Amino acid sequence: MLSRIAYIACLALMFYTSFFFYPRCKQNGPEATIGWDVSGYYWYLPSLFIYKDLAHQSFKDSVLNKYRPTGTNFQQAMPLENGNYSMKYSSGMAVMYLPFFTAAHLVAGASGYPRDGFSPPYQLAIQLGGFLVSLLGLWYLRKLLLIFYQDKVVAITLLLLVFGSNYLNYSSVDCGMSHCWLFTVYVFLLLNTHYFYQRFETRYAVRIGLLVGLATLTRPTDALSCLIPLLWGLESISPTAIKNRLSLFASHLRPLLLAGICAMLVISVQLIYWKHVSGHWLVYSYSDQKLYFRSPNFMNYTFSYKSGWLVYSPMMMLAFVGLVPFVLNGKNKVAITSFFLLNYYIVCAWSIWWYGGRAMVQSYPVLMFPLASLISAALDRRVILWLLSPFVLLFLYFNVWITWHYHRGTLYDCDNMTKQYFWRVAGRWSAPENTLVLRDHTDLYEGAPKNLQLLYQHDFANDTGVLYELHATGTGKSLHLTGEHDNSDTYKTPYTGKGFRWIRVQATFHCERKEWNADKMTQFIVRAVNKGNVTKENMIRVYRLLGENETKSISLDMKLPKKGLDEIDILFWNGASDIPIWIDDLKVWGFNE
């Protein structure tokens, strides 16, 4: 069967990506498998089974100092008023990790590794667990789709999902994250829901309840998963359809109640934990992060160049397009469409929308229905196939490109992507060094300047004050910024270069150590001012171009605004970095294209 061959191809790619391309189990610090969010999901297990300290977390500093899963900050839990700690994330992932944690604990003891919850056997176990769960989910997704679609349609659907979407990353490299595990939970929920409505057997009701409970225990917003079994089989929301559904529930009340009880039993794990550590049944552990139902960030979440879902996983645009043939010809339209739209709404309503397209990955089993419907329509009508094929090929290539640069390349910067930078590097494997300035809010002129004319220069030789000292290289006085004195004066010059379309501001920078934290990098700022008002501002972080113990001349270009301009302001800010930097030979040039 074609779908079986497609599954094997997906397995091969996922295996290579997980264990050869970028094996997180071999990385250190936050890049390790049990790093960042994963360490927060996982923290319950060593707290409970190794250190016997769920509430006080007295062991946390020793783990942070040795393994640094979130750097030096304890982000896995928040302090409570009673002196205890409450985990930031709910415990569903810890429940799913438990078999793999147990195996790692046994292996660590037998092989001489520290039995501390974070040594190599534990890292490998969680990586391997996520990979195996992903393969399991993909196999049963194939079985699920074969109920409704032809084998060749299912084969293409699987290939587009794995080769063409961010599922590849979260099922292979970042498979310790919750998304691929929940993906599999949703696959089993859909399958058991389908079988329940065929036979109304109690075993399927129990499984549905446990799966909905597990999804909710993992991510509370995934309580929305209950819509799938409640609405399954509905093809409209007419009064007659609703009446028939209520009659159906009334005639099968016992299994429905049993499903609800099973769900609540699973969810109660979290309630009991909260009661234990805080004395309250409910604890909100996300601090100032919350859902804004009145103002969801649809555009930013979906299309932002910083982390937009469909910008960095454009293959999933086809699922949106597939809603048309799915609504026209698909099965279980109300359940699939309602869940997809409401889940998308909730994801976009989360305050930190820049967490990106990963939040949609667990819902991909649902989205595969409209995607498969589009593929089916394309195979039936050649004109649709020919129209879609170039986009499919482009999206496949882009997914390989973004997966590479997300982990091993240099062109993708998840925190500093801008529209200008994205379109300059997307799909390319290398780019000139000066392209890096486009990660900040600036212009970049790459041609040969015409009519280049010096408009202003300043060498700081006669400046006085704590900011001006002898250059580290002993070549004279320079502007010297430190952690204590991190703001320069503003250097103002009247703009006299009438007729120029661009200015180039240039300075020489020297550092002894490189600042790697983008938030602390020295900023080189230029402002166009008209009658006291800033009409345009460009900025670059100089350490994007400045290396370790290097002296370098760095330029910042600005395309002049069409509005009036009578002054150029230049300033430097050291970003609260404790690494000193010396700045000299400030010049402003005017030129044309």
DSSP letters along 228-289, please? HHHHTT-S---HHHHHHHHHHHHHTHHHHHHHHHHHHHHHHHHHHHHHHHHSSS----STT-
pLDDT band for position 498 (cuts 50, 70, 90): confident
Tens digit of pLDDT for each residue in 430-456?
A: 999 999 999 998 899 988 999 899 999
pLDDT band for position 287 (cuts 50, 70, 90): confident
- Provide the pLDDT for residue 575: 84
- Provide the pLDDT for residue 329: 94
Contact 311, 401 (CB under 8 A): no
Closest CA to 326 of 273, 390, 375, 360: 375
For residue 459, which phi and psi values (nearest 5 degrees)?
-110, 5
pLDDT band for position 471 (cuts 50, 70, 90): low
Which helix (H) or strand (E) is 592 found in, with range?
strand 581-592
Q: Buried (b) or exposed (e) across 544-572, using 16+ Cβ within 10 A? A: bbbeeeebeebbbbbbbeeeebeebebbb
Instruction: Please state the rounded mean pLDDT for residues 222-235.
Output: 98
pTM metric for this prediction: 0.94
- Provide the pLDDT for residue 441: 82
Tens digit of pLDDT for each residue in 370-418?
A: 999 999 999 999 999 999 999 999 999 999 999 999 999 999 998 889 9
pLDDT band for position 288 (cuts 50, 70, 90): confident
Average pLDDT of the residues of the chain: 95
Give the Cα separation of 23 and 130 in Å (integer): 12
> Is the per-residue pLDDT at 476 higher than 90?
no
pLDDT band for position 499 (cuts 50, 70, 90): confident
Helix/strand/coil for 565:
coil
Instruction: Please state the rounded mean pLDDT for residues 344-358.
Output: 94
> Is the per-residue pLDDT at 473 higher than 70?
no
Tens digit of pLDDT for each residue in 538-563?
A: 999 999 999 999 999 999 999 999 87
Give the Cα separation of 359 and 222 in Å (integer): 11
- Provide the pLDDT for residue 223: 98
- Provide the pLDDT for residue 475: 66
Contact 2, 160 (CB under 8 A): no
Tens digit of pLDDT for each residue in 21-34?
A: 999 999 999 999 99
CA distances in angstroms from 451 to 261, 501, 526, 557, listed in the order given: 78, 11, 21, 15
**Between 2.60.120.260, 3.30.465.10, 2.40.360.20, 1.10.630.10, what CATH number should domain 436-592 receive?**
2.60.120.260
Instruction: Please state the rounded mean pLDDT for residues 456-485.
Output: 86
CA distances in angstroms from 193 to 57, 77, 199, 217, 364, listed in the order given: 40, 35, 10, 19, 17
- 589 burial (CB, 10 Å; 0-12 / 13-18 / 19+) is buried
Tens digit of pLDDT for each residue in 41-74?
A: 999 999 999 999 999 999 999 999 999 999 889 9
Give the Cα separation of 164 and 307 in Å (integer): 17
Instruction: Please state the rounded mean pLDDT for residues 566-582.
Output: 93
Instruction: Say which residues have a Cβ less than 8 Å from residue 365's Cβ, sequence separation at least 6.
Output: 137, 141, 144, 183, 186, 187, 190
Q: 3-state SS string over 25-78?
A: HHCCHHHCCCCCHHHHHHCHHHHHHHCCCCCCCCCHHHHHHHHCEEEECCCCEE
- Domain ranges (residues) in the chain: 2-406, 436-592
Instruction: Please state the rounded mean pLDDT for residues 79-97.
Output: 97
> Is the per-residue pLDDT at 202 higher than 90?
yes
pLDDT > 90: what percent of the chain?
92
Contact 580, 482 (CB under 8 A): yes
Contact 137, 182 (CB under 8 A): no
